[in-house]
Chains A and B, each alone.
Chain A
Amino acid sequence: MLKINDLHVQLEEEGKQILKGVDLEVEAGKVHAIMGPNGSGKSTLSYVLSGRDGYEVTGGAATLDGADLLEMEPEERAAAGLFLAFQYPVEIPGVGNMTFLRTAVNAQRKARGQDEISAADFLKDIRAKAKDLKIDADMLKRPVNVGFSGGEKKRNEILQMAMLEPKMCILDETDSGLDVDAMKLVAEGVNALRSEGRGFLVITHYQRLLDHIKPDVVHIMADGKIVKTGGPELALEVENNGYADILAEVA
C-alpha cells in the first residue's frame, strides 16, 4: 500500500539532511510501528508524506497504491486516502469542529467524484463515532481543538480519522501527552479502525502505546534511516535495553 524507497529529505532553509535513504513498505491490513530516539527523523517522515512545506525531497520515492505521493498537494494526498494524526493538533479559532469535519468529508468526496453527504447522514455518523471516543456534543460544537486538553485533541484526531476513513493512517506520537486512560481510549479508537484494507504506520518513542495497538512489524529508525526491522519483540527489546544496544549492534 505505502511504499517508500530510498527517501532522502533535507530541510529547505538550512539544507540539513534529515532522511538519508528510508526504505519501508506498509501492506494493507498491517500495523507497522516506527520507533527511534529523538532527532532520528520519525516526525519528518510523517510530515514529508503528508506534504508539509519546508522539506525538500532530494532523492527517492513514496507512493500510495502506486500513485506518486510526493507530486501531490496535501489535499490530494488526503483524498487519495492518506491521513496523518498530528503530534500537535492545530487550534483553529472561529471554525467549528463540526463544520470543519463536514467540509473535509465533503471535500474528499468531491475530489473522488462522489456526492456530498447529507446533513442528516453526517450528523448520525459523527454522533455515533464521537460517542465511541467519549467526545461530547459540546466538543463537536467548539472551535477546532481550541481549549481542548491534550487527550481531547488526540481523541479529536482519531474522530477525524474515523470520519474520513482513510486507507493509510500515520500516527505521529499519538501517545505523547496522554495519561494511561486517555491512551487506552485512543488505542481502542485506532483498533476499531483496523481492517483488511487499511494500513497503519504508528510512530512512537515508547513501547507502551504498542501494548494497546499491537504492531505486526516494528522498525527502528536512527539518523534518518531504518536500521533494524523485526516483530513486536523488537519494541520490548527497546523498552528493556534502550536504543543504545541496538544502535551499537547495527553500527
Chain B
Amino acid sequence: MANPAPKTNATDARLAAIAKPDAAAWSHSARDAAAKRVVDMQLPERRDEYWKYTRPDTLVQPDAPHAALFHNDEGPLFDEMDRLKVVFVDGVFDPDASDDLEMAGVRIDRLAEPADIHWAADLYGSLEADGHYVPRPLAALNTAYASDGVLIHVTGKAEKPINFIYLHQDETSDAILHHLIKLDADAEMTLLETGPAAARFNKCMEVDVADGATFHHVRAQGRDHERRAVTHSFARLGKESTFKSFTLTVNGRLTRNECVITLTGDDAIAHVAGACVGDGDFHHDDTVFVTHDAVGCESRQVFKKVLRNGAVGVFQGKILVKEGAQKTDGYQISQSLLLDDDSQFLAKPELEIYADDVACSHGSTSGAIDEEALFYLRSRGVPESEATDLLTLAFLAEAVEEIEDEALRDALVDRLQGWLERHRG
C-alpha cells in the first residue's frame, strides 16, 4: 500500500507565499523571534478552541480571497474634523494623500523607513510576545512580516487626532501593517482608524501607555461587503493611565478583532467597546482578554451586535484578575439584537479571578426588538420602520456612549443610522 501524500501544512504554505519585507535593521531580531513563534504555535485551524466560532482558513490561506471594491457614497468619515491624516492604499503608504507627519506633542515615523528608532526597537513585538496566554499566531505573523506601519511617540498632549485612513482599491490586496504607539507619562492622544484597508487585512497595534497617560482610539472598519480582516490591539497600562477603544463595524465578510490589555499600574482604566451591524454574509468576532495585574484598576468591555439575514456575531471575552490585583472593578457585557430567526450570536464570557476583594460582573444576551416598546412608539405615530431603527440605535447606545468625544460619537451614529435605513426589513 502506498503511503498517503504528506498533508500540506497550512502554516508552511502561508509562510512560503508571504512577501518578506525589506525591514529596518532595528526590527530584525524582533521579527525573527516572531517568525519562530509562528512556527512553534502554527497558524490557527478550525479545531483550535480559540477559533471554535470563527473559521480561520481564509485568514490563513496563502493568497487573499478576492474582495470586490465598494463605492462608498457617504464620503470620508470625520472629513470635517481637524486631524492629521496618514493614508494607506491597500497597505501601501500614500505620501501624497497623507499630511506631513509632523505635529506638536508627537514624533511620527514609519516602520518601513530605515532610521534607527530606539524606543521602537524595545516595543516592537514585545506586547505581542507577552500576549500569548492564548496563542495568537496571526499577531506573531504580523510582527514577523509587516510591510509597514506607523510609529508614534507621544511626548505631550497631541495637538489633534491622528487618523489612519485605509483605502481598498485592489480586489486581491493582502495588507499587513504593524503600528506602535508609545505614550510618555501624562501624554495624551486620540487615534482614529477608518476604512476597509484591503481585500484581506492583518493589522497589529501595540500601545504602551505610561503612568498618567491617556489614549483614545476610535475605529470604523469600512463598508466593503467582501473584505476580511484580523486585527490585534495590545496595550500595556501604567499607573493611573487610561486606554479607551471603540470600534464600529458595518459589513465585511469576516472580521476578527482581538484586544489584549494588561493593567500593570495601580488605578488604571481600560475600556474597550464595539458596535457592529451585519446583514447577510457577515461574520464578526470580538475576542478580548483583559488582565488585571495591579490594584484598583477598572476595566469595561461593552459589545453590541445587530444581526440580520444569517449574519453571525461572536464574542469571546475574558477578565483575568491576578493574585494581588485587589479592588479590581471589572465589567463585561456582550449583547446581540437578532432581527430575524436566521442570525446567530455565539458568546463565551470568561472570568478568572485570583484576588478576593474584587467586583467583576458580566452578562451576555440575545434578543429581538421589544414588541411592547415598538407598539408604544407606533401608538405615538412613529412608523414601524422608523421605530425599529430608533430601538436598534437605543440597543447600541451603551457601546456607542463609550466614545467620549461628542463629535466623533455623532459622526458614527450618523453612519449607523444610514446603515439601518439602507437595511430595513
Contacts and interface: CB of A to CB of B under 8 A. Distances in A.
A86 B380 CA distance: 11
Interface residues of B, number: 24
A73 interface: yes
B304 to A, nearest CB: 10
A188 interface: no
Interface centre among B378, B379, B381, B396, by most chain A C-beta atoms within 10 angstroms, is B381
Contacts of A164: 380-381
A89 B393 CA distance: 21
Contact of A78 (B372, B381, B390, B391): B381
Contacts of A90: 372-373, 375-376
Contacts of A51: 375, 378-379
B176 to A, nearest CB: 38
A78 B386 contact: no
A107 B373 contact: no
Interface stretch (A11-19, A56-64, A93-101, A209-217): A93-101
Given A90-B372, A94-B398, A73 B384 contact: yes
A73 B372 CA distance: 15
Interface string B384-417: 1011001101111110000000000000000000
B373 A92 contact: yes
Nearest to A109: B381
Given A53-B371, A90-B373, A78 B395 contact: no
B380 A160 contact: yes
A50 interface: yes
Nearest to B380: A104
Nearest to B386: A107
B115 interface: no
A164 B394 CA distance: 23
Contact of A75 (B372, B384, B390, B397): B384
Chain A interface residue bracket vs B: 20 to 34
B187 to A, nearest CB: 34
Nearest to A163: B380
Given A53-B371, A92-B373, A103 B394 contact: no
B382 interface: yes
A52 interface: yes
Contact of B381 (A86, A91, A104, A144): A104
Contact of A95 (B384, B390, B398): B390
B372 A104 contact: no
B391 A75 contact: no
B373 A104 contact: no
Nearest to A88: B372
Contacts of B324: none
Contact of A73 (B373, B378, B386, B391): B378
Contact of B382 (A75, A86, A91, A93): A75
A103 B385 CA distance: 13
Interface centre among A50, A51, A93, A111, by most chain B C-beta atoms within 10 angstroms, is A93
A126 interface: no
A92 B386 CA distance: 15
Given A94-B393, A95-B390, A95-B391, A108 B373 contact: no
A83 to B, nearest CB: 8
B381 A95 contact: no
Contacts of A93: 394, 397
B5 to A, nearest CB: 57
8 contacts: A52-B375, A73-B378, A78-B381, A95-B394, A103-B382, A103-B390, A105-B381, A144-B376
Sorted from nearest, which 3 A-B pairs have the closest CB atoms?
A94-B394, A78-B381, A108-B381
Given A92-B376, A92-B391, 20 more contacts: A52-B375, A53-B371, A53-B375, A74-B375, A78-B379, A90-B372, A91-B373, A92-B394, A93-B394, A94-B393, A99-B390, A100-B390, A103-B386, A104-B381, A104-B382, A107-B386, A111-B381, A111-B383, A144-B376, A164-B381
